[in-house]
Structure 1
């Protein structure tokens, strides 16, 4: 049995819109819930109705009512690009009524490269690489990706880490970090949720 996490802040999960139920966000939600942690998981619009405004609204709804610096966010795949859009939107929101709660930590896992097609979610491209907005959007943000992700062939560190001036954890042979790549259960994600520091230990 996994150890009970020591960190008790709520966790917001932004699963891939193309993901399977066996992917790690669903497993992680179950593990955290079993440990008595508050977990919120975004529900995206149906593909035929999806657009940037609707997906951003679903993201904001998932975080509504949480305290600033009082929760963590883990995003997977195309949801990482949505977070980049959210960061820019949050930076330009006027007044308290127009802004969303600010997370303590964010982990962006396996974001697809900007030139990769995103069926039904192509409205996310191009994703803004706004360093200052991303820094203001959370206390800390970390990138995580495989060294052989076919959806980000340039590598997460080069494609996103370098332009965003962010740390990246690169995992050998992890692919796109889906269940098909061996990341249904993912103990490292649970470990990150249970620690207070930003570093992601693969």
Structure 2
């Protein structure tokens, strides 16, 4: 399914991310905007000392402004955990498509005081019925060698109703591992073949 123009996109960054020019999320926001889509890429409050409730409020407020075409959420790292928590008993927002990029594992996040409250752990229910990620088209992308998710897709695949992908050597999927421009993510956002499908 090719995503119609215009469609709506919410891009949510992670911990310590001040939306630098070289990050794939900023590149993606510019590319999608240039193609005629409605894009929100908010600076979430106090990225170095995030508060779960403030980030939640900001994310949901931005999501509520999206009305054009197909609605897609792209969340990285701490925001990916935020989305998982919302689907696990928060407001459970519904969108058309969602991609979670590099959600950290709870055991690792628990060691980082600034984001400890963001940690998501699969519930007993998720072990029986994989968690609905709030979209009919859901994808979770990991990079191998990610210190924040050492088990990669295998750590989450059994517990979420989503296709999972491991990208060889991509680490935490940041500019440091070569993710400034990310054409494959742009292709996925537009409903074109990407990530092996």
Classify the TM-score, shorter chain.
0.7 to 0.9
* Aligned counterpart, 1:50: 50
Q: Distance in 2 between matches of 1:133 and 1:44?
A: 29
CA contact (8 A) 1:23 1:178 kept: yes
User: 4+ residue runs of structure 1 moved beyond 6 angstroms?
Assistant: none
Q: Distance in 2 between matches of 1:33 and 1:68?
A: 13
The answer to whether residue 91 in structure 2 is matched with residue 90 in structure 1 is: yes
Q: TM-score, normalised by structure 1?
A: 0.80
Pairing partner for 1:106 from 93, 98, 101: 98
1:3-152 correspondence runs (5 A) = 7-8=4-5, 9-19=7-17, 21=20, 22-47=22-47, 50-67=50-67, 70-87=70-87, 88-91=89-92, 100=93, 102-117=94-109, 118-128=112-122, 131=126, 134-135=131-132, 137-152=134-149
Structure 2: 5+ residue stretches without partners: none
Q: Give the root-mean-square deviation of aligned CA atoms.
A: 2.7
Aligned length: 187
Shift of 1:124: 0.8
**Gap change, CA 1:180 and 1:48, over 3 Å in 2:** closer
Shift of 1:166: 3.1
